[in-house]
Amino acid sequence: MATYTAIAYHIVFSTKDRRPVLTEDRREELFHYIWGVLKNRNSHLYRIGGVADHVHILTSLHPTIPLAELVKDIKTGSARWIKHDQVFRNFTNWQEGYGAFTCSARDIPSVIEYIKHQPEHHKKTTFADEYRRLLKEAGIEFEEKYLV
């Protein structure tokens, strides 16, 4: 019998201490690198985007890939690449942890648009406020001290 899944994840993670080090001139290279990680793990990328201090990824995972393992691969691989190739001069690491939110098939187009417009969105709101809102909308309880 075949395995069928339709689970899309909106994954969000930030730079260490939320430092704005992901400069616009090289951000597309980072997104391309992460896309390569996803392809190597047989996962489908719908959209990737972000700003100077965090990244958003909308993806569906291959059924054999655990979410935590995929995020670990993305973060460790990209951090190693960033440091080795000196992609972002002041990058030290990714923040520990991440947010992951499931999306229904009907929500995928609106999440894609949301990710596309991250630069405009963050002219009006901070990452901390955005992350707080995403957690609240998903019904996830959190401790404020971990958001700072």
Q: Which stretches of 10-138 are DSSP H helices? A: 24-40, 67-85, 108-116, 118-121, 127-137
CATH number belonging to domain 8-146: 3.30.70.1290
Instruction: Name residues whose C-beta falls within 8 Å of residue 45's C-beta, 6 or more positions apart in sequence.
Output: 34, 35, 38, 39, 57, 58, 59
DSSP state of 105: G
Q: Could you report the per-residue pLDDT of 37-60, keeping only the tens digit for each? A: 999 999 999 999 999 999 999 999
Residue 41 to residue 62: CA distance in whole angstroms: 7
Residue 11: strand pairing partners:
57, 100
Q: Could you report the per-residue pLDDT of 101-141, keeping only the tens digit for each? A: 999 999 999 999 999 999 999 999 999 999 999 999 999 99
> What is the reported pLDDT for 6?
86
Q: Could you report the per-residue pLDDT of 54-103, keeping only the tens digit for each? A: 999 999 999 999 999 999 999 999 999 999 999 999 999 999 999 999 99
Sequence letter at residue 114: Y
Q: Which two tokens stand for residue 137?
A: 């909308």
Q: Are 41 and 62 in contact (CB under 8 A)?
A: yes
